[in-house]
Structure 1
Amino acid sequence: MDFSPEGLLGDLFSRSPDLLFIASAEGALRHPSGGLREALGPGVEGGARLADLAHPDDRAALDAAWSTLLQGDAPVSFSVRLRDGGGAYRQLSCTASRSSDGSAVLGTLRPAPAVAPMTEQELSTLRLKARMLDGLAEHVDPLTIWALDADGIYLYHDGKAVAKAGFTRGQHVGRSVYDLYAATPEAAAEMRKWYDGQVRRGRGEAHGADWDNWLIPLRSEPGGPVDGVLGVSLDVSDARIVEKELRIQLDQIAAQQKVIRDLSTPIIEVWDGVLTLPMVGTVDSIRTAEVMDSLLAQIVEKRARFAILDLTGVEVVDTKVASHLIQLITAIRLLGASGIVAGIKPTVAQTMVALGLDLSQLNTQRNLRAALTYAIRSMSRTDGASPAPSPAPPKAPAP
């Protein structure tokens, strides 16, 4: 039995009312079905190219879909308008796959679902959106706007920042984003996640620039499946440089402020085993906490026995700071040293009393001199009594 296209199967193919075709890899129609001849007329005969029958505005998308078809084994679906025998274009949906030997393409066409004609207001709104998109691409300097269809084919690729990435505007239209990044499989795998319906935003470096990227899923119908992705990429390289410079300046200012704070609260070893901390000016909670850390560390490092907090230069403290000072004295005692507060002003004393804290264990002295004298005497008593006086010389014998 002859199963060639000229045999029984060929007869079945030619009589089929379905819109079927066998085309060469280059897109020439070799065997159109009877239904396809009836639908499109004699234009499908004689090895006509499918692209020549397509509407001019659909040819780029058709070429892109055909290229994808020839590069893989999976069927490819796309929409295209084809010219019939009367010269009118019919909107058709095509599903095609490559033959097993790769020399031909087998396809089927069917009428696309009817779409209600757009009202004049809808057309006006659509044109306005197109002008807005083109206006952004034309005038926003560091911006790139691009869109992909359901198969990852670029439908739009424009913006003034395209040149900064080393491309020409519209260069990627009709190309597959997966082909462009075929050298990095992990990037292609990440791109397939763009169709999960989630809006994404992130920063990354590509093509020698820093980009702030938005990835927005597109749907033909509200609530329908994601059939495209809108990408907006903003070149933030200049802003990133300014940000780094600002961060360096802020780090320098912070370092300078730390030096100033260290100079304003110096810890001085005025005697062997005696540290003093003169505090001057405004004393706030942050400064008190830093003082506590530094002083306790110095007590441990120098094995100090006394720590004197000299408040002579402090006029006012709030209740929170006063509470911190009491806690500092307690912490000094836990380290095995004694804390002395010297030079308390009347206003500071009133604040500390108003706290209602137990001040009975607080050692206070009138001024720094009195505190230092107390510390030295205390250490002398702890270290033992003064050496006994030398014995008197023996008396001369009586004459």
Structure 2
Amino acid sequence: MIGDIYRHLGGMFDGCPDPLLLVEGDVVVAHNEAARLALGEASSLLTLFDAADRSVVSSACAAVASGQSQKSTFFARLATGTANRWTTWPTGHGGVCVRMDGPAEPRADIPAPLSPLVEKDEPVPLRTVLLGKIFDRFEGILWAIAKDGTILVSEGKGLAHFGLAPGAIVGMNALQIYPPGSVAREETERALAGEELYGDSIEGMSYWIRRLTPVRDAAGNVSAIVGFSLRANENSEETLQAKALIRALAELPLAIWAMDADGTCKMSLGNGLKDLGIMPGELVGTNLYELYSNREDFKADMKRAFAGEQFVSGTSFATTHWRNTIIPVRDTFGERVVRIYSVAENVTDHVENHRRLEEQLALIQSQQQAIVGLSSPVIEVWQGVLVVPLIGSIDQARASILLERLLTEVVGRQSSAVILDLTGVDTVDAEAAQHLSNVMRSVELVGATGLLSGIGPSVAKTMVDLGVDMQSRRTYPTLAEALRRLIGARKR
């Protein structure tokens, strides 16, 4: 039947100056001389076209073949890449004529500043149609601004988040409606100056990512910019938390950095960096092994980290002190460490305060020892006889210092007797009494005789009430009596 139609068309078909095909389904039943010269000998219609546009061709032919449309005009690229405008109409009995009308022209409604985006023979391909449909479903915004600031395009569902309808601000001047100092104004001016930008921002509880691209004319001058922004709120809570954390790092004395196994710095941020004279991001791309080649502590820490150990270490730079929490990150299979992260905290104030505290404690201990030495002097009153006059209260710290000094003197002087004189002690408690007993027992263990003198009535009563056993000790009412007894014993 289609062949009969072709014979009926006769010379009119062959004489058509434009490439013309008679098609049934996908089969090319006939073609004129112009089609043979332009398209070659083809038995399949779809094989003539680029794979991405074949569905457009098939849909257009099917529509006219089924009677849904009397004529269909579409744009499609040949397999050779050339884009053209095509027209198809029914011939009856399921057949269609397909005519190549010529190179595709840009749409007449494209604003002049954006015409560099559309090639002269570029049609609207299927991928553009599909992207448009996807764009209609996402919360995005597409806009274009001319060199003078005129808004040429303003489309997308995302505009609703800013209280705008698609196209509502087209024709207005962005440089007039964007406030000076705003991110929108700054990025627009930078893009119009020729800079391609990629950024993100938080608007309320929404997280937006955006791209601004300059459009250049044939001479290379910027004629307009095109921007696209997408609301990416699927993980908005995590994103907002991450953004808040990054902002907090700008205020806290921390430095966070990351390094790959080859030494390349992949991250460098945090307010703490300024204490090292480094700007955030300054070290990214730098090889830290080379930068700190003279730091053996850095090399040792990195060796531990890339061996898989997570740890905390301390280090110093000039007058600053840092505490580093180093975390290794392994590859997907967990076989090796591919990157380490470190959170470094400036603890200079803490270290300095600790150092001053230790110095103060050392001074206090030295003063205590001096006080003990003054209040409990060890005096050699006779060859081989030491006297220790005690004044004030006796506690654990004083008793320990006294015992250490006394034993050293006994051994060093080879003393045979030690007299503890309690004349200057008004009161004792159970702990003090025990300390005195320990001192006397220790003296006797190193071979000296221990004596107690000057025990007053109140001290004696307290010792009896506390049950302190002094019967085994040699006790005398005064130091003089103790010395007389000791000297007398020697003369005998």
Give the TM-score of the pair, scaled to structure 1: 0.56
Please point out which of 456, 472, 488 is paired with 1:361.
472
Q: 2:246 is paired with a residue of what secondary structure? A: helix
Q: Deviations over 1:102-152 (max 9, x none)?
A: xxxxxxxxxxxxxxxx9835133223213312331x212x32221235665
Distance (whole Å) between structure 2 residues aligned to residue 329 and residue 183 of structure 1 = 58
Residues 327 and 173 from structure 1, CA distance in 2 versus in 1: closer, same or farther, beyond 3 angstroms?
closer
Q: 2:235 is paired with a residue of what secondary structure? A: helix
Residues 327 and 208 from structure 1, CA distance in 2 versus in 1: closer, same or farther, beyond 3 angstroms?
closer
Distance (whole Å) between structure 2 residues aligned to residue 186 and residue 332 of structure 1 = 50
Equivalent residue for 2:405?
294
Please point out which of 119, 122, 131 is paired with 2:235.
122
CA shift, 1:355, in A, is 6.5
Distance (whole Å) between structure 1 residues aligned to residue 371 and residue 410 of structure 2 = 22
Distance (whole Å) between structure 2 residues aligned to residue 274 and residue 159 of structure 1 = 69
Counterparts of 1:1-399 in structure 2, within 5 Å, are 120-136=233-249, 138-140=250-252, 142-149=253-260, 152-181=263-292, 187-188=298-299, 190-206=301-317, 209-218=320-329, 228-353=339-464, 359-381=470-492
Distance (whole Å) between structure 2 residues aligned to residue 270 and residue 56 of structure 1 = 93
Equivalent residue for 1:5?
none
Distance (whole Å) between structure 1 residues aligned to residue 254 and residue 302 of structure 2 = 20
CA shift, 1:270, in A, is 3.1
Distance (whole Å) between structure 2 residues aligned to residue 307 and residue 160 of structure 1 = 65
Percent identity of the aligned residues? 33
Q: 1:232 is paired with a residue of what secondary structure? A: strand
Residues 134 and 260 from structure 1, CA distance in 2 versus in 1: closer, same or farther, beyond 3 angstroms?
same
Distance (whole Å) between structure 1 residues aligned to residue 323 and residue 335 of structure 2 = 28
Do the aligned partners of 2:388 and 2:421 also contact (CA within 8 Å) in 1?
yes
CA shift, 1:297, in A, is 2.7
The one-letter code of the counterpart of 2:317 is A
In structure 1, stretches of 5+ residues that fail to align are 1-54, 58-117, 382-399
Distance (whole Å) between structure 2 residues aligned to residue 150 and residue 206 of structure 1 = 23
Distance (whole Å) between structure 2 residues aligned to residue 239 and residue 126 of structure 1 = 33
CA shift, 1:184, in A, is 6.5
CA shift, 1:203, in A, is 0.5
Q: 1:282 is paired with a residue of what secondary structure? A: coil
Q: Give the CA RMSD over aligned residues.
A: 3.8
Q: 2:399 is paired with a residue of what secondary structure? A: helix
Residues 123 and 154 from structure 1, CA distance in 2 versus in 1: closer, same or farther, beyond 3 angstroms?
farther
Q: Deviations over 1:225-282 (max 9, x none)?
A: 7654322222333443343333323222221111011101112233444322111211
Distance (whole Å) between structure 1 residues aligned to residue 299 and residue 413 of structure 2 = 62
The one-letter code of the counterpart of 1:259 is A
Q: 1:174 is paired with a residue of what secondary structure? A: coil
Residues 132 and 319 from structure 1, CA distance in 2 versus in 1: closer, same or farther, beyond 3 angstroms?
same
Q: Relative CO higher for 1 or 2, CA cutoff 8 Å, sep ≥ 6?
A: 1
Give the TM-score of the pair, scaled to structure 2: 0.46
Do the aligned partners of 1:278 and 1:310 also contact (CA within 8 Å) in 2?
yes
Do the aligned partners of 1:275 and 1:304 also contact (CA within 8 Å) in 2?
yes
Q: 1:120 is paired with a residue of what secondary structure? A: coil
Distance (whole Å) between structure 2 residues aligned to residue 372 and residue 183 of structure 1 = 69
Distance (whole Å) between structure 1 residues aligned to residue 401 and residue 407 of structure 2 = 10
Q: Deviations over 1:32-63 (max 9, x none)?
A: xxxxxxxxxxxxxxxxxxxxxxx987xxxxxx
Do the aligned partners of 1:165 and 1:208 also contact (CA within 8 Å) in 2?
no
Equivalent residue for 1:78?
none
Equivalent residue for 1:397?
none
Distance (whole Å) between structure 1 residues aligned to residue 295 and residue 431 of structure 2 = 58
Distance (whole Å) between structure 1 residues aligned to residue 241 and residue 255 of structure 2 = 19
Do the aligned partners of 2:421 and 2:454 also contact (CA within 8 Å) in 1?
yes
Q: 1:215 is paired with a residue of what secondary structure? A: strand
CA shift, 1:202, in A, is 0.7
Q: Which has the larger radius of gyration?
A: 2
Distance (whole Å) between structure 2 residues aligned to residue 185 and residue 297 of structure 1 = 44
Distance (whole Å) between structure 1 residues aligned to residue 279 and residue 387 of structure 2 = 71
The one-letter code of the counterpart of 1:323 is Q
Do the aligned partners of 1:145 and 1:158 also contact (CA within 8 Å) in 2?
yes
Moved more, 344-353 or 123-132: 344-353
Q: Deviations over 1:134-172 (max 9, x none)?
A: 331x212x3222123566533321223323324332112
Residues 180 and 134 from structure 1, CA distance in 2 versus in 1: closer, same or farther, beyond 3 angstroms?
farther
Q: 1:203 is paired with a residue of what secondary structure? A: strand
The one-letter code of the counterpart of 1:135 is A
